[in-house]
């Protein structure tokens, strides 16, 4: 099933207690693309400026990340600068420079319009809607958002909710959007406004899928070394959607497997800065870690 993502393509400067990077590859579409490409080719919609390193485009093309739908505009690429606290739980945005993103008006090439699976990465919901309008007949649409849009574009977000299958947000975003501190009630509130499913990401505590059939929980993979949490949510979405695209199976059982692949790609993402870890590992390592989730949560109920 053809898979499409729209999102930011960024040059990130990130500081964590363990080191820092400057102008490293980042943005929601990039983290998503790298994670999803382990499973299935991905078509990317976004914009880059004339300072974007061209060799990165070749590297991505070689992995099955199709960047032919990415607009090349005159000016600076989107830049984001952030700094994490000692426990990596909080981050401060030090600088956001929109650059060519400011005037971005997504136009999908014909080859992209037949996408069946769509991920609307965290960007202005008006742009997310414009992309969705250009896809002929998607089977499954997932969407991310953030506090900035929940505050700034609430009406557009409500319109968008009616047209998506799953909203993927973190717990703070679910609380803010619904006005309810309880994530399960928040998920109900969201589902009453459109999406059949809600995935709530809880960082190092895992992620929950809530739909008509109930609640499914996947833990985060227990890592001793976490370097940089940037992009973990997008990498989760990439593993989740990539698995669905590869299998073409949107059944309940397969959505649960997709959650495990999402948690797996999220865990690889945070082991290094930027997309470095994705450039080191292969499909075999990804699959092995995904399998090991079974041991993490399996127990027998004999003697209960
Ligand atoms: P996450 O850790 O999932 O929030 O994703 C981090 C990525 O989002 C970074 O690579 C940033 O370049 C990108 N990002 C940060 N702020 C924005 C924004 N306002 N719009 C779009 N992308 C952003």
pLDDT string in tens for the chain (304-residue length): 999 999 999 999 999 999 999 999 999 999 999 999 999 999 999 999 999 999 999 999 999 999 999 999 999 999 999 999 998 888 999 999 999 999 999 999 999 999 999 999 999 999 999 999 999 999 999 999 999 999 999 999 999 999 999 999 999 999 999 999 999 999 999 999 999 999 999 999 999 999 999 999 999 999 999 999 999 999 999 999 999 999 999 999 999 999 999 999 999 999 999 999 999 999 999 999 999 999 999 999 999 9
Q: How many CB atoms lie within 10 A of CB 63?
A: 16
- Tell me if 283 is assigned to some domain: yes
Look at the block and give the residue holding tokens 């400067």: 13
Indicate which CATH number applies to the domain containing 172. Answer: 3.40.1190.20
* Number of separate domains in the chain: 1
Residue 145: predicted pLDDT: 96
- Tell me if 204 is assigned to some domain: yes
Pocket of ligand 1 (CB under 6 A): 8, 10, 12, 26-28, 80, 96, 122-123, 148, 230-234
Smallest CA separation from ligand 1 atom 13, residue? 27
Smallest CA separation from ligand 1 atom 4, residue? 231
- Tell me if 304 is assigned to some domain: no
State which of 25, 26, 28 you would mutate to test the pocket of ligand 1, scoring each by most atoms of that ligand within 8 A of its C-beta: 28
Contacts of 125 (CB under 8 A, 6+ apart): 145, 149, 153, 156, 157, 159, 160
Residue 89: predicted pLDDT: 86
Q: What is the DSSP letter of 221?
A: P
- Tell me if 302 is assigned to some domain: no
What are the strands, taking DSSP E only, across the chain? 3-6, 10-16, 19-20, 24-26, 42-48, 65-66, 70-72, 78-84, 91-97, 117-120, 140-143, 166-170, 197-201, 207-211, 214-218
Smallest CA separation from ligand 1 atom 12, residue? 27
The parent domain of residue 23 ranges over 3-297
- Tell me if 303 is assigned to some domain: no
- Tell me if 213 is assigned to some domain: yes
- Tell me if 118 is assigned to some domain: yes
The pTM is what? 0.97
Residue 150: predicted pLDDT: 97
Could you tell me which of 167, 172, 76, 94 has the C-alpha nearest to residue 128?
167
Instruction: Measure 294 CA to ligand 1 centroid, in angstroms.
Output: 31
- Tell me if 113 is assigned to some domain: yes
């Amino acid at each position: 099933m053809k898979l499409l993502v729209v999102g930011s393509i960024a040059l990130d400067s990130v500081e964590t207690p363990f080191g820092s990077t400057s102008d490293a590859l980042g943005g929601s579409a990039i983290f998503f693309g790298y994670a999803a490409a382990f499973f299935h080719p991905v078509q990317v919609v976004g914009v880059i400026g004339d300072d974007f390193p061209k060799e990165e485009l070749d590297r991505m093309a070689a992995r099955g990340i199709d960047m032919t739908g990415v607009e090349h505009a005159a000016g600076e690429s989107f830049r984001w600068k952030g700094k994490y606290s000692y426990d990596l739980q909080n981050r401060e945005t030090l600088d956001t420079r929109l650059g060519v993103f400011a005037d971005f008006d997504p136009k999908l090439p014909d080859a992209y319009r037949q996408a069946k699976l769509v991920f609307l990465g965290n960007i202005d919901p008006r742009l997310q809607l414009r992309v969705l309008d250009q896809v002929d007949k998607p089977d499954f649409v997932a969407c991310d958002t953030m506090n900035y849009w929940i505050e700034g574009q609430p009406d557009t977000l409500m319109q968008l909710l009616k047209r998506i299958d799953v909203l993927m947000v973190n717990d703070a975003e679910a609380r803010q959007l619904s006005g309810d501190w309880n994530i399960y009630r928040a998920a109900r509130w969201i589902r009453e406004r459109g999406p059949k499913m809600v995935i709530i990401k809880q960082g190092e505590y895992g992620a929950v899928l809530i739909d008509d059939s109930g609640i499914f929980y996947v833990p985060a993979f227990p890592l001793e070394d976490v370097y940089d949490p940037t992009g973990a949510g997008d990498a989760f979405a990439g593993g989740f959607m990539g698995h669905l695209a590869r299998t073409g199976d949107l059944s309940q059982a397969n959505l649960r497997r997709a959650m495990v692949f999402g948690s797996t790609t999220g865990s690889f993402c945070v082991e290094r800065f930027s997309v470095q870890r994705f450039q080191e590992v292969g499909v075999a390592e990804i699959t092995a870690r995904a399998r090991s989730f079974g041991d993490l949560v399996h127990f027998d109920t004999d003697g209960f």
